[in-house]
Homo-oligomer: A and B are copies of this chain.
Amino acid sequence: MKKIINQVENIVDEMLKGIVKAHPDHLKRVEGFNVLVRKDAPVAGKVALISGGGSGHEPSHGGFVGRGMLDGAVAGEVFTSPTPDQVFEGIKVIDSGKGVLLIIKNYSGDVMNFEMAAEMAEMEGIKVDKVIVNDDVAVENSTYTTGRRGVAGTIFVHKIAGAAAEEGMELSEVKRVAEKVIANTRTMGMSLGPCIVPAAGKPSFELGEEEIEMGLGIHGEPGTHRESISSADEITTHMVEKILSDIPFDEGQEVAVLVNGLGATPLMELYIANRKVAELLEERKLKTVKTIVGNFMTSLEMPGFSVSIIKLDKELKELLEKTADTPAYK
């Protein structure tokens, strides 16, 4: 295992220190916790948003802390849910009295621990609510979930619900917007190979020289099937069709697209894939109003990518287009 790390047990702590050193204008760390919050938290008069999960998905979620997106992000160990006390601490620090929305990716551990933290917060009189993101169309249940997994489409929840909160909406309204994003977002991913969890020290699975896995999860959970590698266009077409067959679209529907790298895929390849995504959506007479290409929800150094598509109505489109100012999304 070759990695730019020191002691395995210090990875998350040292990473958080490095983020704070890089982005002191955007965020600060809650002392003694693996929690990053907006530098100006709590923001008076604003509903606060918190997300998080296992580390190894950077820039998710700390990179999205800032004006117009998250107020807090909780970092667990690599591919491991943060504990309830960490999440609870984050909730306490960011709550301005207007309440806190928890944005949880659908993984059993995350759901359990965030819900436990929500209960702890309610017991202290903090108003909390939650949404569970389940955008992955690949599989119905998975190694770590009941129901669909929450993957890269979560970025749209952070962005759009974050804008709703910034606009001054109440907690119930911010939740309504977040639920609408979730209902209209679908993601499909694929991988060319595994990644290595530092504490394990070896790849989580093996793929043959010419083999790829379709529908893989962001922790290396199995997807729908393995196949021989084909062209970028064939792979991308399969992914987009899987998404479009899952949610009915009308001609002229406005959408936004996220072509997300899993960590080791060159931007060159993501753009080649994006070219095909754009072409396929044009053929279906969908109107792409925003496209995001890059590494947003990674899986350590996994090679591969995902495509997320969100159907936009007027409200979602306007909120998506609001400015945000975070380390990883502006």
Give residues in A with beta carbon < 8 Å to B.
2-6, 11, 14-19, 21-23, 55-56, 58-59, 63, 192-193, 209-210, 212, 229, 231-233, 235-236, 259, 263-275, 278, 288, 291-293, 295, 298, 300-301, 303, 305, 330
Evaluate whether A229 and B2 lie within 8 angstroms (CB atoms) in the complex, with A22-B291, A266-B298 already known: yes
Evaluate whether A18 and B55 lie within 8 angstroms (CB atoms) in the complex, with A5-B269, A301-B265 already known: no
Q: CB distance B5 to A275 under 8 Å?
A: no
* CB of A35 to closest CB in B, whole Å: 16
Scoring A229, A233, A236, A274 by chain B CB atoms within 10 A of each residue's CB, the highest score goes to A274
Across the interface, which residues of B come within 8 angstroms of A23, CB to CB? 291
Known contacts A16-B271, A266-B298, then 6 further A-B pairs from the complex at CB < 8 Å, ordered by chain A residue: A5-B272, A18-B270, A22-B292, A23-B291, A58-B271, A295-B295
Please measure, in the bound complex, the distance between the C-alpha atom of A240 and the C-alpha atom of B232, giving whole angstroms.
39
Evaluate whether A303 and B2 lie within 8 angstroms (CB atoms) in the complex, with A58-B266, A266-B263 already known: yes
* CB of A273 to closest CB in B, whole Å: 6
* CB of A37 to closest CB in B, whole Å: 17
Across the interface, which residues of B come within 8 angstroms of A275, CB to CB? 14-15, 17-18, 21
Q: CB distance A305 to B271 under 8 Å?
A: no
Using CB atoms, name the residue of chain B closest to A267. Answer: B58
Across the interface, which residues of B come within 8 angstroms of A291, CB to CB? 21-23
Q: CB distance B267 to A59 under 8 Å?
A: yes
Interface SS of A by simple majority: mixed
Q: CB distance B2 to A268 under 8 Å?
A: no
Interface CB pairs A-B, < 8 A, 24: A2-B192, A2-B209, A2-B229, A2-B303, A3-B192, A4-B235, A4-B236, A4-B270, A4-B273, A5-B231, A6-B231, A6-B272, A14-B232, A15-B268, A18-B270, A18-B275, A21-B274, A21-B275, A21-B278, A22-B259, A63-B267, A267-B295, A268-B300, A301-B303
Across the interface, which residues of B come within 8 angstroms of A229, CB to CB? 2
Sort A-B residue pairs by CB-CB distance and give the 8 closest, nearest first: A18-B271, A18-B275, A264-B264, A4-B269, A58-B267, A21-B278, A18-B274, A330-B330
Please measure, in the bound complex, the distance between the C-alpha atom of A305 and the C-alpha atom of B3, giving whole angstroms.
11
Q: CB distance A273 to B6 under 8 Å?
A: no
Using CB atoms, name the residue of chain B closest to A272. Answer: B14
Across the interface, which residues of B come within 8 angstroms of A278, CB to CB? 18, 21
